[in-house]
A and B are shown apart, each in its own frame.
Chain A
Amino acid sequence: MKLWQKNLLLFILVVVISIVPLFIARGSEFGGADGEAEGLITEINSDYEPWAASWFEPPSGEIESLLFALQAAIGAGVIGFGFGRLSAKHKAGETT
């Protein structure tokens, strides 16, 4: 099997692993696990007051997802650029 075929298979597996929970835990809220931990802290120690707040909160869910998408896009861009360079150099190395 070629590398891209293997990788495609692995990638499909990742997609499946990510979709299956939507059916298994149907009707759940799919909130963040860190938010649940926050709830647990208040449950264990109800007197606890967070002593600092983020200096910048994304004003809405849309803005927040924009920033997360931006983070992923920057990362994916760099990885893509990297692979482009690596494969070009690899080819150049083969011909010389």
Chain B
Amino acid sequence: MKKKQIDERKIIKFSVFVSVILAQPMTFSSAMHIMEGYLPPVWSISWGALCIPFVVAGFFSIKRKIAGNSRMLLLLAMCGAFAFVLSALKLPSVTGSCSHPTGVGLGAVMFGPAATSVLGVIVLLFQAILLAHGGLTTLGANTFSMGIAGPFAAFGIYQLFKKLKAPAAVAVFFAAFIGDLFTYVVTSFQLAAAFPDTVGGVMASAVKFLGVFAVTQLPLAISEGLLTVIVYQGIKKYSRSELDLLKAV
């Protein structure tokens, strides 16, 4: 058991190393899904590289959490399925255009952001390969925004609300709401960093992309928050002991 743990740490460390080496060309310290081919190669590789350690860590996190408990696997599958449903729903927004929620907030709250990054990759791969939505060359950037940045924000907000002794439903709502919005904020900055404005630079460009995404996303983020609460409350009713084990109550 001890030996296995060391191996795990070694693999994660190695993945960080690979990530750092490959992400070297990124000059900007830190790219709805970005479409296939719409991110220059340097950025595609860098974002992809940056995701590697998170996904590797997520893989181990999942392995540990579902070990010896078949209900955990079922719950994880439900979290993945929830992201599947929500990211397939293109909803109309007040700006007169459509976008879709991410659905990763539930996984982030229950299984943590690392495990959720694995779910994010699966959803994004499905959409990139079968739906021509997002893309393989932009998989890294999209995984970073939807599978890593969004879930981390959601997880952080959830922990914060829990510390403030907010009711679980309120904490889950804001976690999913902020996670959804933050995903698109990151997407805007990813696009801005790759396509800086000729006059105003990255920031001016970011404002333009945020103009496209942020307002459109606002009502969808509220919907995502509410839907996440619905499923979370259901799970809490029927599977309280697992949520206690995951420290997600």
Contact = CB atoms under 8 A, between A and B. Distances in A.
B94 A21 contact: yes
A31 B98 contact: yes
Interface in A9-51: 10-11, 13-14, 17-18, 20-22, 24-25, 27-34, 36-38, 40-41, 44-45, 48, 50-51
B30 interface: no
Interface residue tally on A, bucketed by range: 35 or more
Contacts of B89: 72
Interface in B89-104: 89-99
A22 B93 CA distance: 8
Contacts of A37: 32, 34-35, 191, 209, 212-213
Contacts of A31: 97-98
What's the dominant secondary structure at chain A's contact region?
helix
A4 to B, nearest CB: 9
Interface in B58-102: 71, 74-75, 77-78, 80-99
B130 interface: yes
A57 interface: yes
Contacts of A41: 38, 191, 195
Interface string B104-138: 00000000000000000000001111111101110
Contacts of B97: 28-33, 36
Given A33-B98, A40-B212, A50 B35 contact: yes
A40 B128 CA distance: 21
A79 B82 contact: yes
B150 to A, nearest CB: 16
A58 B131 contact: yes
A33 B216 contact: yes
B74 A82 contact: yes
A27 B97 CA distance: 11
Contacts of A14: 223, 226-227
B222 interface: yes
Interface string A71-87: 11011111100110111
Interface of B: 32-38, 40-41, 71, 74-75, 77-78, 80-99, 126-133, 135-137, 191, 195-198, 205, 208-209, 212-213, 216-217, 219, 222-223, 226-227, 229-231, 233-235, 237-239
The 8 closest A-B pairs by CB, nearest first: A28-B96, A50-B37, A75-B84, A25-B96, A75-B85, A78-B81, A52-B37, A86-B238
Given A53-B36, A54-B132, 8 more contacts: A18-B92, A30-B98, A34-B32, A40-B212, A55-B136, A67-B130, A82-B78, A89-B238
